[in-house]
Structure 1
Amino acid sequence: MKKTDLRFKVANREALIGVGLAIFNFVWWFGLAYGLGDRTPEDYTYIMGLPSWFFYSCILGFLIMVVLVIVAVKFWFTEVPLDDEGGNLE
């Protein structure tokens, strides 16, 4: 029976984290852009000269994603050796 390389487990976990972040980003953007942007332009509220739906979905959403990606990389991602031996992962 062939032993599974631990690097694949790490890569799969990190890929799932990346997919989760992408899904969160899409749900955030879609929900706020279409949830707040379904009114007529005369009824929009503005933040810093931008419609609130755009500010919350694109500007604030981008900043939240930057923070989430930094947190994910800093705390959940693991450096793995890429040589043939695979090194020693803990």
Structure 2
Amino acid sequence: MFNITDGRIYMNDDAGNMIAEVTFPNIDDNTIIIDHTFVDDSLRGQGIAAKLMLEVINYAKTHNKKIKASCSYAVKWFDKNKDEYKDIYVG
């Protein structure tokens, strides 16, 4: 479903157009920052952005990273789920 690279998780449609994306560059050796989330209008309301957040969490855990967020969606998502992810989300 998702393509995962360092600093980016995304999904393309059948024509190769990017339809969902989250970017998370390293800010130091131990921390990434979610700075952008995008979901195409055609996918809104299907929980795709939340799935992107879970993919970033899996990526961070696999790579022993903590997560910060500057993207407004990610900040709100982690605020809503802070108890569950307090071990990995550092604000």
Q: TM-score, normalised by structure 2?
A: 0.31
Larger radius of gyration: 1
TM-score normalised by the chain length of structure 1: 0.31
